[in-house]
Amino acid sequence: MSDRSVVTRFAPSPTGRLHLGHAASAIRAHDFARARGGRFVVRIEDIDGTRSRPEFVDGIFEDLAWLGLRWDSLMVQSARLATYDAALEGLKARALVYPCFCTRAEIAASASAPQGAVGPAYPGICRGLSAAAIAARTGPCCWRLDMAKALTEVGAGVEALTWHDSTAGTVVADPLAQGDVVLARKDAPASYHLAVTLDDAAQGVTDVVRGVDLFAATHVHRVLQALLGLPVPAYHHHPLVVDSAGRRLAKRDGARALAEMRAAGEDGAALAARVRAGGG
């Protein structure tokens, strides 16, 4: 089978060392492209300046090479800040985003109250702030997408937004269920939602291969693609690698790093073969 238009990507954040779950996702994306004569690209999602570390970037390259994976091109998010800013400014000009000054504690308290909650994610505290109220505020703010306005602009009430998932089939997007998501954080120039949507388009990604834990995020990405005039890739959300207790592997929970396996004498090619066979 050959389809050289196929492009997949692996997009890790350099906030820790890669573990077996990362390896499985990278191998799936790599093999999907190679089996079709396509391209496999890497993206370093390093705009979280408080947690990203250069040594973890080097570690990503070392781990992928150890697994026997080769990539065709590389993108680094921190080199694309102007692109994210331009997209955000465009959405501001269309009055589709608004500043939010809420703390996490304020959001949690409001969302749990019996009155005023308009969605499961964000209760809309700052959505109706006047220009004077905004000007009077001090301190950092994030920028949220007014999801209802966004759907009105793309006409989703008339023609539903859809995408194709290799397991779920044709999916009708329901971004309202995600609430007014953050597009630019208080501590970062872009959120995951905005950056990943722009970056997938810029890298020409035709097939997004990623964990099923990100399935819900696709509802948001689909409306952003419509708003920004971007192509819609096919999606392949795969099962997660879990530990003996059935919990997904995570850096914060101390999942064993690929670097530790390598230091212990394990063979990367053999590990990759076990992953492909469904083992670990």
Please give the structure tokens belonging to residue 231: 């192509």
**pLDDT at residue 271 tops 60:** yes
Q: Per CATH, which fold does 81-239 belong to?
A: Rossmann fold (3.40.50)
Task: Give per-residue pLDDT as tens, 235-264.
Answer: 999 999 877 666 776 766 667 899 999 999
pLDDT of residue 103: 87
Going by C-alpha positions, the residue among 179, 39, 158 that lies closest to residue 98 is 179
Distance CA 216, CA 174 (A): 9
Residues 6+ apart with CB under 8 A from 16: 56, 251, 257
**pLDDT at residue 112 tops 90:** no
Residues 6+ apart with CB under 8 A from 19: 249, 251, 255, 256, 257, 258
For the segment 108-117, the average pLDDT, to the nearest whole number, is 54
pLDDT of residue 94: 97
Q: What's the DSSP call for residue 102?
A: -
Task: Give per-residue pLDDT as tens, 57-71.
Answer: 999 999 999 999 999
Distance CA 262, CA 19 (A): 11
pLDDT of residue 251: 64
Phi, psi dihedrals of residue 208, rounded to the nearest 5°: -90, 115
Is the CATH number 3.30.70.20 carried by domain 1-79+242-280?
no
Cite the DSSP H helix spans in the chain: 20-35, 54-66, 81-93, 104-111, 131-136, 147-154, 192-202, 217-228, 258-263, 268-276
For the segment 68-84, the average pLDDT, to the nearest whole number, is 97
pLDDT of residue 114: 41
Please give the structure tokens belonging to residue 8: 């997949």
pLDDT of residue 260: 95
Q: Which residue intervals of the chain bear CATH 3.40.50.620?
A: 1-79+242-280, 81-239
Phi, psi dihedrals of residue 211, rounded to the nearest 5°: -70, 155
Beta strands 182-184; 142-145: pairing state: antiparallel
Q: Are 45 and 195 in contact (CB under 8 A)?
A: yes
SS3 159: coil
Distance CA 190, CA 182 (A): 8
Distance CA 170, CA 235 (A): 10
Residue 153, CA distances (Å) to 78, 112, 173, 243 in order: 30, 30, 15, 44
pLDDT of residue 159: 59
pLDDT of residue 104: 84
Q: What is the pTM of this model?
A: 0.91
Distance CA 102, CA 125 (A): 8
pLDDT of residue 49: 81
Residue showing tokens 């995951």: 192
pLDDT band at residue 4 using 50, 70 and 90 as cut-offs: low
Q: Are 51 and 15 in contact (CB under 8 A)?
A: yes
pLDDT band at residue 1 using 50, 70 and 90 as cut-offs: very low
Task: Give per-residue pLDDT as tens, 193-231.
Answer: 999 999 999 999 999 999 999 999 999 999 999 999 999
| Residue 149 CB burial class (10 angstroms; 0-12, 13-18, ≥19) | middle
Rounded to the nearest integer, the mean pLDDT of the chain is 90
